[in-house]
Each structure stands twice: as C-alpha cells, then as structure tokens.
C-alpha cells in the first residue's frame, strides 16, 4: 500500500465515527488518503477531524470554487488509484448502482477509472431488503468490491448483519485487493531470513551477525506484490509483516527442514539468511567449564540450504544473496555459477556496513543480465528486487527448463 493514493469516501452512517481510525490505518501502511465526505456524513463527524488525521483538506462539495480551482473533481477522480467508500450507506449504494452524479462523491465514482470498494454499514433489515440486495448485486457485476458487512450489535440496538468491518480489517482487505493485481499475484514465495544459531552447550551458541531486516523487507514487498509468502526466520527481533506466514527456526538444520517442508508449490525461493557455515561437531549436554587457558572446538559444515534447493529437480526460481568484503561482483558471479542460482543479489559488507543498517545497495546478477539497485532503504530495495524477480519469472514461465545455463 506504500505510496498508494486512496480516495476515501465517507457517507452518512453512524459507523462514520470509525472512519478517522481507518484513515490512520491506511496511512500507517504508507498510503496517501484524500477524504471526500457527503453532506450526511458531516452530521456524524466533522471535516476538521478528517483533515487532522489525513493531513489533507477534506473535499465535501461539488460547488466549492476554491477547492475545484486547486484540484478539479475530474482531476481528483484521476488522482485516485483506488476508491474506498466506508461507511457506505444503503442510500449511497443505491445512488452508486443508479449511476447518479448528484454530489461530489457520486460524481467522482462515476468519473474515476480506479477500482471501487465499498464497506456497507446499515441496519440489518435495510441490508436484507430486496432493493439493497439488487443494488449490491448490480455493483458486484460491475467489479465493485464489497467488503463486509460484519455481523453483531448494531447502533439501533438490534443484532444482525450490517456492521461496518473494523478499520484494521478494512485496511487489510483493501491491501489484499490492491495486491491481487500485483506482479507476483498467484505466486508462492519462500524466504529465509536472519542468522542461525548452532549450539555449543545449553547456554552458548555460534552465530552470524544478521538483523534479518532485508529478508523481512522482501517478505513485505513480495506480499505487497500479491504473492503468498512464507518466511522462515532465524532468531531476530522483528515483527512479522502483515499477511506473511512465519516459521521460526534456530539452527541451519532446522532451517533446511522447514524450507524443504514448505518447498512444494513454491515458485520463488529467496535465501537472505546468514546461515552459520559450521556447527560444533558435538553439543555438550552441560555447560562447558573453564578448565584450561585455551579451548579448541571441532566443527563440521552445516547443510547449504540454498545449494540444496537449487540442486533439486523440482527447483523453484532460486535467488541467493552474497555478502562480500571485496571483489563484490566477481565473487557474486562465482557464487551464482557454483550454487546454480537463477539470480544473486550482492552487497559489500566492509566495516559491517550493511549489518543492522536500514539502507543498503545491491548489484543483481541473473542469467545474462546485470542490474544495480542504488543506495536506498531496505524496503525500497526489496521492492526493486521483487520487481526484477517478477520480470525474470514472467520471461521464463514458458521455458520448459530453467535455471541451468547461467549468466
Ligand atoms: N547459504 C545457505 N546455507 C548455508 C550457507 C549459505 O543457504 N549453509 C546461502 C545464503 O543465504 C546466501 C548464499 O548462500 O544466499 C551465500 O552464502 P555465502 O556464505 O556467502 O556463500 P558461500 O558459497 O558459502 O561462500 P563463502 O566462501 O564466501 O562463505
């Protein structure tokens, strides 16, 4: 939803008191929100409230000369990337179904090419009325998305179907709706992130430095592009991006097991995890005591999760990461070949630059292609990388065999 321009229409129902909270939920997700109120909506909530939470002047009137001079209603209709009417009263649904243009909001709905979603809110008998049913059915055939309504206590004291969905749920449903047309719609993406921990004894472990931020940003970006996303995460302290399924693991062996069990049906595997390359040969049952001045540890290789996935006959599109301290591109290209990847994203990590940082830059190598994603926030980079993956995937979909001859 980042940067999406949402036109929020508020019509005159008691549920309008929840709409300022909806504006906040949408803005939290990075959307720009322009509120348009009907005359009846202003009987319930003031325009001042919406102006404060949206950070933009509210539009209420088709005949407001000053507002029209700033951005005419046709311009506003073009500005919107999606229109959400919440709450949508029975009267507004009827006007929308009838193609009326008798106030600013109805006119905008008629003039826009953006998709329209409505969140009905009304008394359960009004919702059940044949006239409303016919209007809603009519709107649905025109591609208007109907979100809700929910069932429960109503303002009139009755109980039934007709409550507006809660702001958080509306924001989530709208995000899913926007994502449904995304570049990775219908794809399943599996991502590893964070470090792994290899136990020495009950209180000690060997690990890698990794915040997990890049992998989590990729999960968020892939989800926003419409993918079903599974995130296999080592120990990190990051919140799970909304709509993403997360599986927490500890060691490289756990990570491999989780990845292999999630692999069926996966179209893209992205390996951002900083997997420990070695693990102690033995894990002590009790704390290792300080009995000598030096301590030698026998270590063995951990499984290479990325290479294991890339070596399978039923491999998805496989993307690796390379953190290099020198000869970034040369080393990354060598890894692309050695691990038989479809794509590799490389960055320089001298002075622990990229660790924990919120921004980064990447060189992306794929079969016969090279891209540079300039320094930016990890989410912006993740979006760029997701787009490159989607392009490569679309170009290869028709090929019977992929991922063999590289670069
Ligand atoms: N990786 C993995 N499992 C491992 C080690 C690495 O899945 N046990 C993945 C990482 O997630 C990353 C890629 O492999 O996507 C690159 O890892 P790196 O350790 O840099 O590559 P190596 O081939 O092990 O090279 P190096 O000799 O530089 O360690």
Q: Which residues are 303's β-sheet partners?
A: none
d(Cα 196, Cα 264) in Å, to the nearest integer?
23
273 lines ligand 1 (CB under 6 A): yes
The whole-number pLDDT of residue 352 equals 57
Tokens coding 53: 């939470």
3-state secondary structure of 332: helix
Q: Which residues are catalytic?
A: 156
Residue 319 alpha carbon to ligand 1 centre in Å: 12
Which protein residue has the closest C-alpha to ligand 1 atom 24? Answer: 277
CATH topology of domain 188-396: Rossmann fold (3.40.50)
Could you tell me which residues come within 8 angstroms of residue 189 by beta carbon, excluding any fewer than 6 positions away?
219, 222, 227, 228, 229, 230, 266, 267, 268, 269, 270
Residues of the chain with CATH 3.40.50.10300: 188-396
Q: Which atom of ligand 1 is nearest to the CA of 252?
A: 8
Report how far apart, in Å, the C-alpha atoms of 297 and of each of 133, 199, 400 are.
72, 12, 47
Residue 275 alpha carbon to ligand 1 centre in Å: 7
Residues of the chain with CATH 3.40.50.1950: 5-180
Q: Which residues are 371's β-sheet partners?
A: 364
Q: First CA to last CA across the chain, in angstroms?
A: 34
d(Cα 401, Cα 386) in Å, to the nearest integer?
22
The whole-number pLDDT of residue 14 equals 96
Q: Which atom of ligand 1 is nearest to the CA of 335?
A: 23
Contact 338, 328 (CB under 8 A): no
The whole-number pLDDT of residue 354 equals 58
The CATH number of the structural domain formed by 5-180 is 3.40.50.1950
Could you tell me which residues come within 8 angstroms of residue 323 by beta carbon, excluding any fewer than 6 positions away?
274, 346, 347, 349, 354
Per-residue pLDDT of the chain (407 residues; tens, 9 = 90+): 889 999 999 999 999 999 999 999 999 999 999 999 999 999 999 999 999 999 999 999 999 888 888 888 999 999 998 999 999 999 999 999 999 999 999 999 999 888 899 999 999 999 999 999 999 988 876 778 889 999 888 888 888 899 999 999 999 889 888 877 788 988 999 999 999 999 999 999 999 999 999 999 999 899 888 899 999 999 999 998 877 899 999 999 999 999 999 999 999 999 999 999 999 999 999 999 999 999 999 999 999 999 999 999 999 999 999 988 899 999 999 999 999 999 999 998 876 555 677 888 999 999 888 999 988 888 889 988 998 999 889 887 654 433 333 32
318 lines ligand 1 (CB under 6 A): no
Residue 347 alpha carbon to ligand 1 centre in Å: 13
The whole-number pLDDT of residue 204 equals 96
The whole-number pLDDT of residue 355 equals 67
Tokens coding 166: 């809660």
The whole-number pLDDT of residue 223 equals 87
DSSP alpha helix (H) spans, 229-369: 252-262, 305-310, 328-338
332 lines ligand 1 (CB under 6 A): no
Residue 203 alpha carbon to ligand 1 centre in Å: 26
The whole-number pLDDT of residue 353 equals 56
């Amino acid at each position: 939803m980042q940067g999406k321009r949402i036109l929020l229409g508020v019509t005159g129902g008691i549920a309008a008191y929840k709409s300022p909270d909806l504006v906040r939920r949408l803005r939290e997700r990075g959307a720009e929100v322009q509120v348009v109120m009907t005359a009846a909506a202003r009987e319930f909530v003031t325009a001042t409230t919406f102006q404060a939470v949206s950070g933009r002047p509210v539009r209420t009137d088709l005949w407001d000369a000053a507002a029209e001079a700033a951005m005419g209603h046709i311009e506003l209709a073009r500005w919107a990337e999606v229109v959400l009417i919440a709450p949508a009263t029975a009267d507004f649904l009827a006007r929308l179904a009838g193609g009326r243009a008798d106030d600013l909001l109805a006119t905008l709905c008629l003039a826009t090419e953006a998709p329209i979603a409505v969140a009905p809110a009304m008394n359960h008998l009004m919702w059940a009325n044949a006239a409303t049913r016919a209007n809603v059915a009519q709107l649905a055939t025109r591609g208007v998305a109907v979100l809700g309504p929910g069932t429960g206590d109503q303002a009139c004291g009755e109980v039934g179907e007709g409550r507006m969905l809660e702001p958080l749920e509306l924001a989530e449903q709208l995000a899913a709706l926007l994502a449904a047309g995304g570049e990775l719609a219908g794809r399943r993406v599996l991502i590893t992130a964070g470090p792994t921990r290899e136990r020495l004894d009950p209180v000690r472990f060997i690990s890698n430095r990794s915040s997990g931020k890049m992998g989590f940003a990729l999960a968020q970006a892939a989800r926003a592009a419409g993918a079903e996303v599974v995130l296999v995460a080592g120990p990190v302290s990051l919140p799970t991006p909304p709509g993403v399924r997360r599986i927490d693991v500890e060691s490289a062996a756990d990570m491999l097991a989780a990845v292999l069990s999630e692999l069926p049906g996966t179209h893209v595997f992205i390996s951002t995890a900083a997997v420990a390359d070695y693990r102690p040969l033995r894990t002590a049952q009790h704390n290792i005591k300080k009995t000598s001045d030096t301590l030698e540890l026998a270590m063995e290789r951990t499984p290479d999760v990325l290479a294991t996935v890339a070596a399978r006959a039923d491999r998805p599109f496989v993307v690796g990461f390379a953190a290099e301290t020198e000869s970034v591109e040369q080393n990354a290209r060598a890894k692309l070949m050695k691990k038989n990847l479809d794509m590799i994203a490389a960055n320089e990590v001298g002075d622990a630059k990229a660790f924990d940082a919120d921004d980064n830059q990447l060189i992306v190598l794929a079969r016969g292609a090279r891209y540079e994603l300039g320094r930016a926030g990890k989410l912006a980079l993740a979006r760029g990388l997701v787009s490159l993956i989607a392009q490569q995937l679309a170009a290869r979909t028709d090929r019977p065999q992929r991922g063999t001859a590289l670069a």
